[in-house]
Structure 1
Amino acid sequence: MQRTIEIRTDDLSGEATRRLIARHLAGMHDTSPPDSVHALDIDALRHPSLSVWSAWIDGELAGVGALKALDADRGEIKSMRVDDRFLGFGVGRALLRHIMDDARRRGMGTLWLETGTTPEFLPAQRLYESEGFTHCGPFGDYALDPFSVFMTRVL
C-alpha cells in the first residue's frame, strides 16, 4: 500500500519534531567523535538562515530535513533524519526532493552537504548519489575529516 507523505514547514515547536531532532543529534554523537559531529540542535535550527520541513505519514512524524542558505547562490542540506519506523518508505527522498525544489525556487544554483563515513551513513550516501550529488572536498567552514563525506549538486 502506497502511503502519502505530507511535507510541511516546521517551526520546531512540536514535541514529535523536538524528539526526532534530539534522537538525530544523539545518534550523530553515538557514531562520530565530538569534533566530527556537525548536526544542529533545536536552537541552532532556528537560525534565520535555515528553513526546516517535516514529513508526515498518517498523522505521524516520519522525518525532518533543513536547508541552510550559505549565500544567495548556494545552500546546504542539514539535519536530514527519517524516523526508524519509516525507513524504506521514501521519506528521505521526498524530503530531499522538496529541499532541492525549494532551493531552485530561491534561485540557488548548487547544494552542498556533509554526512558521515561510518556504515550507518551508507544509505544516506546512496540516496544523495542517486539524486545526482557527487563527492567533493570540504566547503564553507568544514575541514577535511575522516568521519565526513562532502557532496555537492548543481541544480
Structure 2
Amino acid sequence: MSEREIEIRREDPRTPDVTKLIRDLDEMFHHLYPAESNHLVDIETLASPNIHFFVARRNGEALGCGALWHRDAAYGEIKRIYVRPEARGLKLSKLIMAKLEENAREHGLRAMKLETGTLQPEALGLFAKWGFTRCGPYADYPTDDPYSVFMEKPVA
C-alpha cells in the first residue's frame, strides 16, 4: 500500500461509517478507563464548525480518523485519533497527525494540545515521536485524574 492509495479529508462525523469508527473508539475507552476518566466529545460536538474532523480512507473505506478542535486563536486540541485494528501498521496515524498539524498551521494556531490516557502506550509513543511534550491540564479537564496525560506541541 502506498500513501497515494490513502485519502485523508475533512468529513462530517455523522456519516454512518465514520460514526462506526467513533463508536469503536468509545468502546475501547470504556474498556480501558472508568467513566469519570473518559473525556469524550460526542458526535454532534465533533460536527461543530470549530472542530475540523478528518477521515482516512482507502478505496472509499473509512480506516481511521482524527480531529482538531480550534479552541481559540492560540491553540487547537487533538481529539479522536483512531485507526481500526485491521489497518494498524499502515502508518495512518502519522498521516492523520500530519493533516492535523497542516490544518493548525493553515489556521495560524500557535500550538496543539491533547489529553490522552496512561493506559495507551502506543498513543503516548506516537505523540512523543511527533514532538509533543507533557504539560499541565488545560481547558475544563479535571486536574486530578490519575489516568490523564496532557501534552502540547508548538506549531512552527
TM-score by length of 2: 0.93
Corresponding residue number in structure 2 for 1:143: 142
Question: 1:84-107 CA deviation, whole Å, 9 max, x = no partner?
Answer: 111110111100110001000100
How far, CA to CA, are the matches of 2:103 and 2:83 in structure 1? Answer: 19
Runs of at least 4 residues off by over 2 Å: 1-4
Corresponding residue number in structure 2 for 1:88: 89
Q: Counterpart of 1:13 in 2: which secondary structure? A: coil
Deviation at 1:143, TM superposition (A): 2.1
Deviation at 1:29, TM superposition (A): 1.3
Unaligned runs of 5+ in 2: none
Equivalent residues in 2 for 1:56-67, closer than 5 Å: 56-67=57-68
How far, CA to CA, are the matches of 2:2 and 2:70 in structure 1? Answer: 33
Question: 1:129-153 CA deviation, whole Å, 9 max, x = no partner?
Answer: 1110001111111123111111000
1:5 maps onto 2:11 in alignment = no
Number of aligned residue pairs: 153
CA RMSD, aligned part only? 1.2
Q: Counterpart of 2:24 in 1: which secondary structure? A: helix
Percent sequence identity over aligned pairs: 36
Equivalent residues in 2 for 1:47-126, closer than 5 Å: 47-118=48-119, 121-126=120-125
- Asked if structure 1 preserves the Cα contact closer than 8 Å seen for 2:14 and 2:47, the reply is no
How far, CA to CA, are the matches of 1:64 and 1:82 in structure 2? Answer: 7
Deviation at 1:60, TM superposition (A): 1.4
Q: Counterpart of 1:8 in 2: which secondary structure? A: strand
Deviation at 1:73, TM superposition (A): 1.4
- Asked if structure 2 preserves the Cα contact closer than 8 Å seen for 1:25 and 1:40, the reply is no
- Asked if structure 2 preserves the Cα contact closer than 8 Å seen for 1:22 and 1:41, the reply is no
What letter matches 2:141 in structure 1? Answer: Y
Unaligned runs of 5+ in 1: none
